[in-house]
Structure 1
């Protein structure tokens, strides 16, 4: 009975998650810099961050946030500040000493918790995700759809997001890919830093309407 609605939700989510944004940039950076394990934990963090948006959408809090310029701006500036922070850290990367390429490929100092939190915070604080899920749960999903079914949609969205970004982590943590980025050394970090800062700026200027 709800298959048509579910397929619509799944298609819209697929188009949204495949569009490069802060989540994609963070997963790529973690995967290239710290390897598949860190990239996968970051992807799981992004997926779990979805539950934040699903929860407040089901509770109706998303509607309150969308109607309050102050709350929206608080969320927006918190997210932008976080992206600025990790972006500036990357921009300050210095050239690695000679022979450091192999050392980069063998890095294991990134904790699972740190990688997970990085993905979770990046997704959870994204106000664009707030607007996306609000639209999804108020426009696409029928308000008469049972709460349990809507919650099921939310579980799917979180799992699908985690799977997608785990695939991204798998792709960018390949030895050949990492070796290629490693040869660029600090320039890759600076490039990703510039991307994150740019996303932060774009986010900072996001308007409620």
Structure 2
């Protein structure tokens, strides 16, 4: 399916791509800085789950439909843009609850953060699933590492997609650690968390607008 040197190139390219800041990175870092390492890791898990949906869809041919159909791409693009901007608006108008967060950080009860963590997970999940560019990326990136004469291309695609997502876990954990370290080591940040919300909100609105104005690759 793939030779060793190609596999190493695939792993290295995946790390470089995951080190590039984007909506996923900012989503993980902002939650890690705001609520700690656990929230950041949950955000990372949601993003990874969303990527797996795209890998499975592309392996089954749905991703190819998005790449070929302007209508399908446009519908998913506008859904994704609307979702990103909705998240941004919520963060822009979020209340300053830094005192509550400080109290939650001192508590260890399971029920204290369960709803919040669930929302963080599904937020990361839908941020990825509703972005057609993620599907197009996998369709453009992964086939380069599959031998043209390999008989089971869908299986190879799924295997490499799974490897890409596993490969991303340590990079995502590094981003999460950086975000949580910022909150833990900079005591002045916690009373100013509402500004982190505002910044995150503006960034997500920007990502949404960028996605809304984007053209289908190849047009």
Shorter-chain-normalised TM-score: which range? 0.7 to 0.9
Give 1:90's aligned residue.
Answer: 91
TM-score (ref. length: structure 1): 0.86
Change in CA separation of 1:140 and 1:68 when aligned onto 2, cut-off 3 Å: same
SS in 2 for 1:173: helix
Q: Is the 8 A contact 1:83 1:200 kept in 2?
A: yes
Deviation at 1:177, TM superposition (A): 4.6
Query: How far, CA to CA, are the matches of 2:13 and 2:93 in structure 1?
Result: 37
Q: Which runs of 5+ in 1 are unaligned?
A: none
Question: 1:100-138 CA deviation, whole Å, 9 max, x = no partner?
Answer: 673475485353322221211112222221221110233
Matches within 5 A, 1:154-165: 154-165=161-172
User: Alignment partner for residue 118 of structure 1, among 119, 123, 129?
Assistant: 123
Query: How far, CA to CA, are the matches of 1:144 and 1:114 in structure 2?
Result: 44
Question: Is 1:189 aligned to residue 197 of structure 2?
Answer: yes
Query: How far, CA to CA, are the matches of 1:101 and 1:117 in structure 2?
Result: 20
Give 2:69's aligned residue.
Answer: 68
SS in 2 for 1:179: coil
Give 1:176's aligned residue.
Answer: 184
Question: What is the alpha-carbon root mean square deviation over aligned residues?
Answer: 2.4
Give 1:150's aligned residue.
Answer: 157
Q: How many residue pairs get matched?
A: 208
Change in CA separation of 1:5 and 1:21 when aligned onto 2, cut-off 3 Å: same
Q: Which runs of 5+ in 2 are unaligned?
A: none
Query: How far, CA to CA, are the matches of 1:61 and 1:178 in structure 2?
Result: 45
Question: Is 1:199 aligned to residue 207 of structure 2?
Answer: yes
Q: Is the 8 A contact 1:58 1:137 kept in 2?
A: no
Change in CA separation of 1:52 and 1:178 when aligned onto 2, cut-off 3 Å: farther
